[in-house]
């Protein structure tokens, strides 16, 4: 039985003081959730957030990380830096990073490998555009993204990875995939995982849905057989996130 994972993606919101205040508000509301709950916060907010969450059941996640060890990579943040701050999860390949910051499948793969090498747990995003969905190539596109992200990663390591299916047309738009649409793709992701690895690994790995998840639609989405929780953007900054964290 896979444990659900509900992660909030705060994106580029909250100064450290605001992050601390939001954490203090959300922490008591989210504690007691059956799922693994993660706050993926801006890097500069990590110290403030880890301080508030210390000793709680809620984990801290980052939204990005570079694959090199250290050195002349101005503006980047290394795996060791995140680890030392107490970060547990890192999001990779979010569609906003792919679109605005040129993150390629190859970079995602290298980042995932680096994170795993130090014990960080990757959340790997994939998802199709509306044009790809309408052209009937969503499943093929996502199969390819998943295969490229996992290239050269063994089953034992892959089991530490969460895949987040996030249809781009549903992110921040208020348009949620129906539970059936989300299940169809998450089922296809589990199928490709069983082809890359085996049934055991595919049944162990967690697959989230993301895209306008809210307090009203979360329970129906998370009840689907291949949906093991959610990656939540907009609603993760509100008290509503606690409703989502308790939805299963």
Per CB under 6 A, residues contacting ligand PEP are 9, 166, 171-172, 210-213, 231-235
In the complex with ligand PEP, the residue whose CB is nearer, 100 or 136, is 100
Distances (CA, A) of 235 to 65, 98, 105, 176: 24, 22, 27, 13
Least distance to ligand PEP, CB of residue 15, Å: 19
Distance CA 82, CA 42 (A): 11
166 included as an active-site residue: yes
Least distance to ligand PEP, CB of residue 45, Å: 16
Catalytic residue among 94, 96, 246, 248: 94
In the complex with ligand PEP, the residue whose CB is nearer, 33 or 202, is 33
Catalytic residue among 96, 103, 128, 166: 166
Least distance to ligand PEP, CB of residue 236, Å: 7
Least distance to ligand PEP, CB of residue 1, Å: 25
Which two structure tokens, joined as six digits, stand for 39?
């706050």
Least distance to ligand PEP, CB of residue 103, Å: 14
In the complex with ligand PEP, the residue whose CB is nearer, 201 or 218, is 218
In the complex with ligand PEP, the residue whose CB is nearer, 133 or 202, is 133
**Residue of minimal Cβ distance to ligand PEP:** 233
In the complex with ligand PEP, the residue whose CB is nearer, 35 or 201, is 35
Distance CA 66, CA 118 (A): 13
**SS3 per residue for the chain:** CCCCEEEEECCCCCCHHHHHHHHHHHHHHHCCCCCEEEEECCHHHHHHHHHHHCCCCEEEEECCCCCCCCCCCCCCCCHHHHHHCCCCEEEECCHHHHHHHCCCHHHHHHHHHHHHHHCCEEEEEECCCHHHHHCCCHHHHHHHHHHHHCCCCCHHHHCCCEEEECCHHHCCCCCCCCHHHHHHHHHHHHHHHHHHCCHHHHHHCEEEEECCCCCCCHHHHHCCCCCCEEEECHHHHCCHHHHHHCCC
Please identify every residue annotated as catalytic. 94, 166
């Amino acid at each position: 039985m896979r444990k659900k994972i509900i992660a909030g993606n705060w994106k580029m919101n909250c100064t450290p003081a605001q992050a601390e205040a939001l954490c203090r508000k959300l922490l008591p509301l989210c504690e007691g959730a059956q799922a693994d709950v993660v706050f993926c916060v801006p890097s500069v907010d990590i110290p403030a957030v880890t301080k508030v969450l210390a000793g709680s059941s809620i984990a801290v996640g980052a939204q990005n990380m570079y694959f090199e060890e250290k050195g002349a990579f101005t503006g980047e943040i290394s795996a060791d830096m995140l680890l030392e701050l107490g970060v547990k999860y890192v999001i990779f390949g979010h569609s906003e990073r792919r679109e605005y910051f040129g993150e390629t499948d190859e970079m995602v793969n290298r980042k995932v490998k680096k994170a795993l090498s130090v014990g960080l747990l990757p959340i790997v995003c994939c998802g199709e555009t509306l044009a790809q969905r309408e052209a009937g190539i969503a499943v093929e596109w996502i199969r390819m993204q998943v295969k490229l992200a996992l290239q050269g990663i063994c089953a034992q390591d892959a089991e530490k990875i969460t895949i987040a299916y996030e249809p781009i047309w549903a992110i921040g738009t208020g348009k949620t995939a129906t539970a059936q649409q989300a299940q169809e793709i998450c089922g296809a992701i589990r199928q490709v995982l069983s082809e890359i690895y085996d049934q055991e690994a595919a049944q162990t790995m967690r697959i989230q849905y993301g895209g306008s998840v809210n307090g009203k639609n979360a329970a129906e989405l998370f009840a689907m057989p291949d949906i093991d929780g959610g990656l939540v953007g907009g609603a993760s900054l509100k008290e509503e996130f606690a409703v989502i964290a308790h939805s299963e």
